[in-house]
């Protein structure tokens, strides 16, 4: 499951998340700590996205993160 990557590998992909979403602050990333729901909420707040748009963006990021981490 893709969300599992977010939780298990947060410390490894945190920097990639910062590049992907430049509006997220270090404090935001500290608060997220790999929790998908918190990430989605932060994207809604920072970028004015709907929940559905934020979910799509997180899914795209997780596909990319799996590639970067060379996970199946």
Give how many domains the chain has, as a whole number: 1
Residue that is written with structure tokens 């989605």 in the block: 40
Q: Could you report the per-residue pLDDT of 47-58, keeping only the tens digit for each?
A: 999 999 999 999
Q: Can you give the CATH number for the domain in which 39 is found?
A: 1.10.1470.10
CB 51 within 8 A of CB 10: no
Put simply, whether the predicted model's pTM sits higher than 0.95 gets the answer no
Dihedral over alpha carbons 55, 60, 62, 65 (to 10 degrees): -150
Tell me which residue range forms the domain holding 24.
2-68
Per-residue confidence band for 70, with pLDDT thresholds at 50, 70 and 90: confident
Following DSSP, what letter does each residue of 7-58 receive, concatenated?
HHTHHHHHHHHHHHSTT--HHHHHHHTT-HHHHHHHHHHHH---HHHHHHHH
Q: Could you report the per-residue pLDDT of 6-35, keeping only the tens digit for each?
A: 888 899 999 999 999 999 999 999 999 999
């Amino acid at each position: 499951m893709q969300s599992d990557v977010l939780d298990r590998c947060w410390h490894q992909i945190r920097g990639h998340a910062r590049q992907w979403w430049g509006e997220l602050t270090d404090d935001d990333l500290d608060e997220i700590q790999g929790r998908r729901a918190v990430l989605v909420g932060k994207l809604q707040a920072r970028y004015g996205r709907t929940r559905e748009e934020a979910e799509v963006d997180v899914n795209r990021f997780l596909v990319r993160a799996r590639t970067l981490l060379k996970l199946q």
